[in-house]
Amino acid sequence: MDPVAKRKGRNVDPVVLHLVLTRHWFDEMLAGRKDIEYRACTPYWRRLLWGRRRRITHARFSRGYTSRTILRPVLAVDCGGCPYDGWDGRFYRLHLGEIVENKGICERADGET
């Protein structure tokens, strides 16, 4: 339960986001090089992220539309810039904790995941 909601005496269901990533960004997360997920400041993401930011506990990321997923706790959601070239403007930022679950991830013989 959200600590803020608990203090106010409300029962709030926790939210686990399900987000699809391209192979590149999924692999960056898996390798530990990406700890913040960025989503554009649009009405869609405002409703899904910003409006529920106090209820979001975890994010499950899938590698494309496959069964390969990782689960990470969401430590905070804020709004700000993005450090990647060409990604101008403001973004909703999900600050992520360590991977707590891997599903469908296995090491291939050639070292690729």
Q: Is 108 helix (H, G, I), strand (E, B) or coil?
A: coil
* Domains detected in the chain: 3-100 (2.30.130.30)
Query: What pLDDT score was predicted for residue 7?
Result: 35
pLDDT tens track for 54-105: 999 999 999 999 999 999 999 999 999 988 888 889 999 999 999 998 988 6
**Are 29 and 21 a contacting pair, CB within 8 Å?**
yes
Q: Is 21 helix (H, G, I), strand (E, B) or coil?
A: strand
pLDDT tens track for 24-62: 999 999 999 999 999 999 999 999 999 899 999 999 999
Q: Is 104 helix (H, G, I), strand (E, B) or coil?
A: coil
Residue 67 CA to residue 105 CA, distance in Å, equals 9
Tell me the residue type at 52.
R
What are 58's two structure tokens? Answer: 């975890």
Query: What pLDDT score was predicted for residue 112?
Result: 53
